[in-house]
Amino acid sequence: KQEVTQIPAALSVPEGENLVLNCSFTDSAIYNLQWFRQDPGKGLTSLLLIQSSQREQTSGRLNASLDKSSGRSTLYIAASQPGDSATYLCAVAGNTPLVFGKGTRLSVIA
Amino acid sequence: GAVVSQHPSRVICKSGTSVKIECRSLDFQATTMFWYRQFPKQSLMLMATSNEGSKATYEQGVEKDKFLINHASLTLSTLTVTSAHPEDSSFYICSAREGMEETQYFGPGTRLLVL
């Protein structure tokens, strides 16, 4: 059974810092891995999707990497801004439907 | 990008009543729709998967007679919480996928509060 773990559970950083969010999964037989953003009480916004054959994806200040063999992914946020404050979820797609981690709650302090 | 809407965004109801939540794909044909539930500070948990025109497949521990799912068209799926109780209070999110595409598009969610 696929399990997804995100570390840390919560993170607070001053504005302008670069930061890394971590996601690990137990079953490396995945099709893709996706990073989402969730604002309080809102739905999900897809940020980046990495196919199993890819090593990384970039969108603006966001860079996501994938090491399938070790079951790890990182989401790198450059030059963080207060507007980046949200919960970040990773989810893996494989033989089972999407499995989500519990998320990392990020606070960027102005 | 593809858009998925949900209605209502928020609902408050009395214990014992039934609540229907709609999920619509606005600009694509959603051959598969998924329903998730999220309790506070918890991850999204898949409740069921529905393919258009077929019965939904429920995840273990999800009562199919309590959470009725209908996916009668390629743009609409509904989740009905029957005889709702306070423990059903949660955030319900749907997502949709077109054909064999891997990407799921998520709705904005519906917050249900059962008094």
Residue of chain A whose alpha carbon sits nearest to that of B44: A100
pLDDT in tens, B47-100: 999 988 888 999 889 999 999 999 989 999 999 999 999 999 999 999 998 887
Q: Does B49 touch chain A (CB under 8 A)?
A: yes
Q: CB within 8 A of A1, min separation 6: which ones?
A: A26, A27, A96
Residue B43 — very low, low, confident or very high, per pLDDT cuts 50/70/90? confident
Cis amide prior to B40 (ω within 30 degrees): no
What pLDDT is stored for residue A86 in this prediction? 96
Subunit contact B108:A42, Cβ cutoff 8 A:
yes
**Rounded-to-integer distance, Cα A102 and Cα B42, Å:** 6
Task: Tell whether the model's pLDDT for residue B19 goes beyond 70.
Answer: yes
The residue among B63 and A45 whose pLDDT is bigger is B63
Subunit contact B105:A46, Cβ cutoff 8 A:
yes
In degrees, rounded to 5, the angle at the alpha carbon of residue B76 between the alpha carbons of residues B46 and B43 is: 20
What pLDDT is stored for residue A45 in this prediction? 84
Let me know: does B39 contact B105? Beta carbons within 8 Å.
no
Residue of chain B whose alpha carbon sits nearest to that of A94: B102
What pLDDT is stored for residue B7 in this prediction? 95
Mean pLDDT of B1-30: 92
Contacts of B103 in chain A (CB under 8 A): 46, 49
